[in-house]
Structure 1
């Protein structure tokens, strides 16, 4: 694997740990696709730094379990703003 890809995977993982960020938020910050972020932290990182990969996996699982709540809040906000217009 190329070193810049490995470095990106580690950098992304550390960002997710520090900010408790979602894959979508992280992708936006780093200017890459959601697929790239997901592949970096689930597949590539496992080979590079397995302990870091397991820590990130816990955060991704937490985010996954909460995503229906975030989606509901976003929808609620959308309709509240439309109602004000």
Structure 2
């Protein structure tokens, strides 16, 4: 049960804003070879939620036997002279 809440997070070596997540109870796919994709951390989604990580989409990807890909980009817009995250 705990494994369904825990994900391994990997970053793409050529684009440090692109990440993928694999649930702990799923096999790590061969594309994650430690060269093109490297391990970053392990998160427990009951308390951790990295920016850009969508838990529903992550679980959908795991049901399809896939990997969940997401980007961590900060985009800012000007509103009343204050910058805020979009």
TM-score by length of 2: 0.27
For the pair shown, the structure with the greater C-alpha radius of gyration is 1
Higher helix share: 1
Higher strand share: 2
